Structure 1
Amino acid sequence: MGKNSQSEDRLRPVDLARGHGLSTQAIRNYEEAGILPAAARTPHGYRTYTSLHAGALRAFLALLPGHGHRTAAAILRAVNQGADDGAFRLLDESHAQLLDDRQTLRAVESALRDLKPTRAGHGTAPAPRPGGTFIGPLATELGVRPATLRKWERAGLVCPRRDPQTGYRVYDEADVRDARLAHQLRRGGYLLEQIGPLLAQVRTAGGLEPLEAALGDWHARLSARGRAMLTGAAELEAYLRRRG
């Protein structure tokens, strides 16, 4: 009976791959990367896996959507090396990043409220106050390099005027607002080519719907990521219990 049980627990690479739509090469790659424990070998040199390997694979694939490939792989490598505390630290860091992303989203929503149309402006953003700031102080405030602001300018995200005497860029209140909003959206993972049309529509049409739709999508992605982390944690816990 013991021999039959041992035989039933023996899995080929194709057995692991088939249930997840993977190739056998992917299974071998995961083993070589330390995501799966090292496989046993038959006398002829063929890899043989067990239900433990199947559990590791399920845990890795479940961790992927919430944590990304690099972190999910690092978590499994740490577990397979017996460094559970290292795996838990990686999980903590990933959850902390999700919290930071949620805080960024709230900051963007706060900036969006500042863009709400006023009755006097007939649906446009408020007019800037006289004066302005230069590229250095604004870059320092945002925590970016002046080169980043110049890149945003080339992409049309901010449109500072030039001082007629010095030629220096001068960012008025509207420019500073757009720069802050662009910065928050960049932190949220949006590309320059995605941010540009949103800000352009806000400026030219006075409508905030494009940004509101983007924030709704952002909310949905963060929620999906949080839920995926729960699923990944459950599979990882099952793998840890099986590993003993």
Structure 2
Amino acid sequence: MARVVDPGRRWRGAQVAETAGISVQQVRNYVDLGVLPPVERTPAGYRVFTDEHVRALAVVRRMAEGHGWARTREVMVAVHQGDLAAALAALDAGHAELDRERADIRRVLGAFETVVASPAAVLPAPRRGARIGEVADLVGVRTSQLRLWEQRGLVRPVRERGTGYRVYDAAEVRAAQVVALLRRGAYPFDIVAAVLDEMRTTGSAQRVRAELAKREQELHRRSLRRLRASATLHDYLRHLDPAPPG
């Protein structure tokens, strides 16, 4: 990537820092890290900043809002090293993360709706605490599966005093029913765990749906922030190289 830069105005470090509301030391740190372009020095050793540094600092701030500091640093260092491929790969990874999060939310919601719609999910639970064999019969699985689910933290029976036997209250019988239903639907354990966490935390179908919708809306906002950040970076790249590939 060819760099075509008109240095324009000369700036002091304090002036550059003031444009972003940060300290002069932070500006120096950004230069040392490669987040801002290299600086020239006067014969007396003072750093000389230009319009390019002010422009780059504005990009850093917008990028951090959308992508976070770690990825912003990775991208901007790659840009100033002339490694456009590495910068774009880092951006792609960030957008892919959001895509995975969005897919996970929808899978959790789909799994939850499967639970709500299934008659098996509302089987009557024993009034008293049930032992593992009773729960296995009720849910239609082997006791070994219940033990595995317990190891994974999906069901949480208590131990009976004196005997040490596992005892499942109504909530844990319900949890076992949910796990069995979702596993039969080939849902992975992480999605099963997410559904159970939502059910235990919110306590009602409407609140689970509302919480998942809230998370998806926040994901939309994060996606828009990343889009704005990427647009700002694109303008900066065009400034550095008026005729980039593609």
In 2, Cα distance between equivalents of 1:212 and 1:92:
30
In 1, Cα distance between equivalents of 2:16 and 2:82:
23
In 2, Cα distance between equivalents of 1:240 and 1:35:
14
- CA 1:45–1:62 in structure 2 vs 1: closer, same or farther (change >3 Å)? same
In 1, Cα distance between equivalents of 2:193 and 2:141:
27
Aligned partner of residue 49 in structure 1, secondary structure: strand
Give 1:67's aligned residue. Answer: 67
In 2, Cα distance between equivalents of 1:131 and 1:185:
16
Residue 212 (structure 2) pairs with residue 211 (structure 1): no
1:145-224 maps to which residues of 2 (within 5 A)?
146=151, 149-150=152-153, 158-160=155-157, 172-175=176-179, 183-184=190-191, 199-202=200-203, 207-224=204-221
- The code of the aligned residue for 1:199 comes to R
Deviations 1:173-209 (A, max 9, x none): 235579979934988xxxxxxx85851442xxxx223
Unaligned runs of 5+ in 2: 1-5, 124-137, 242-246
Residue 140 (structure 2) pairs with residue 130 (structure 1): yes
Unaligned runs of 5+ in 1: 140-145, 188-194
Give 1:93's aligned residue. Answer: 93
Residue 245 (structure 2) pairs with residue 235 (structure 1): no
Give 1:24's aligned residue. Answer: 24
Rg larger in 1 or in 2? 2
In 2, Cα distance between equivalents of 1:200 and 1:219:
18
- CA 1:208–1:21 in structure 2 vs 1: closer, same or farther (change >3 Å)? farther
- The code of the aligned residue for 1:102 comes to R
In 1, Cα distance between equivalents of 2:12 and 2:23:
12
Deviations 1:138-191 (A, max 9, x none): 59xxxxxx5xx24xx6xxxx4247798997x9983235579979934988xxxx
TM-score by length of structure 1 reads: 0.70
TM-score by length of structure 2 reads: 0.69
Two-structure CA RMSD over aligned residues (Å) = 3.8
Q: Percent identity?
A: 26
- The code of the aligned residue for 2:122 comes to P
User: Is the 2:59–2:232 contact (alpha carbons within 8 Å) kept by the matching residues of 1?
Assistant: yes
- CA 1:221–1:185 in structure 2 vs 1: closer, same or farther (change >3 Å)? farther
Tell me by how many angstroms 1:23 deviates. Answer: 1.5
User: Is the 2:111–2:182 contact (alpha carbons within 8 Å) kept by the matching residues of 1?
Assistant: no
1:34-113 maps to which residues of 2 (within 5 A)?
34-113=34-113
In 1, Cα distance between equivalents of 2:12 and 2:206:
53
In 2, Cα distance between equivalents of 1:241 and 1:54:
16
User: Is the 2:75–2:87 contact (alpha carbons within 8 Å) kept by the matching residues of 1?
Assistant: yes
User: Is the 2:115–2:182 contact (alpha carbons within 8 Å) kept by the matching residues of 1?
Assistant: no
